[in-house]
């Protein structure tokens, strides 16, 4: 594809999180498509309040400044996003502007985090990002990743590829526009 850097942000620090396997499956899929990526784990940043300056936050800001786009993988908690994800996203407003974001929502329920996706669209738009369609909604998180680490369903994998293609398209277009 290109030399785009699209990190993957794992948006929960909860013990036993099933979304970690999904983030890893996406990272493998991105690497197969020759995208540069890195896992950014909210668990590595122990923010307790807006405006905190947690250890390592400079590294997060560097990654976001270098990023051409972002993929967020997060579970739906009580119809919304995890607090630690919001705190981390709020830690660096300027680096997100005019960059695409792919949304991957995870749920044990039947709607795959659709309510979370809607909230993340509002949040990322407020951060001046460009959320792409389609979002990837992972239902039955326990069954979503096969033993080999790949997404278990061909249709799930196809939606992931479609979402990544959109992130790449917008990343290339917006990188050109930001440089102009």
Q: What's the CATH code of the domain at 91? A: 3.40.50.360
What is the model's pLDDT at position 79?
86
**Number of domains the chain contains:** 1
What is the model's pLDDT at position 90?
92
In angstroms, the CA 39 to CA 27 distance is 8
- Round the CA-based radius of gyration of the chain to a whole number and report it: 15
79 is a domain residue:
yes
What is the model's pLDDT at position 143?
86
122 is a domain residue:
yes
8 Å CB contact between 153 and 122: no
1 is a domain residue:
no
2 is a domain residue:
no
87 is a domain residue:
yes
Q: How high is the mean pLDDT in each 10-residue block of the chain (180 residues)?
A: 88 91 96 95 84 79 96 92 93 92 90 90 97 94 87 94 98 92
**Strand ranges for the chain from DSSP E:** 8-10, 39-41, 70-75, 100-106, 130-131, 136-138
81 is a domain residue:
yes
What is the model's pLDDT at position 2?
64
Q: What is the span of the domain harbouring residue 25? A: 8-179
103 is a domain residue:
yes
What is the model's pLDDT at position 93?
86
3 is a domain residue:
no
């Amino acid at each position: 594809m290109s030399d785009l850097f699209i990190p993957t942000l794992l948006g929960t620090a909860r013990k036993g999180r099933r979304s970690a396997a999904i983030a890893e499956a996406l990272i493998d899929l991105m690497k197969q498509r020759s995208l540069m990526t890195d896992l950014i784990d909210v668990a590595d940043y122990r923010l307790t309040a807006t405006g905190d300056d947690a250890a390592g936050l400079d590294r997060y800001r560097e990654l976001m400044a270098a990023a051409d786009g972002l993929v967020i993988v997060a579970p739906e908690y009580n119809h919304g996003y995890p607090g630690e994800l919001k705190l981390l996203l709020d830690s660096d407003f300027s680096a997100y502007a005019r960059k695409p974001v792919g949304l991957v929502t995870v749920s044990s329920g039947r709607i795959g985090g659709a309510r979370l996706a809607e909230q993340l669209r509002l949040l990322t738009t407020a951060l001046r990002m460009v959320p792409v369609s389609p979002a990837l909604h992972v239902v039955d998180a326990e069954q979503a990743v096969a033993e080999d680490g790949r997404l278990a369903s061909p249709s799930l994998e196809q939606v992931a590829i479609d979402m990544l293609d959109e992130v790449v398209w917008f990343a290339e277009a917006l990188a050109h526009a930001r440089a102009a």
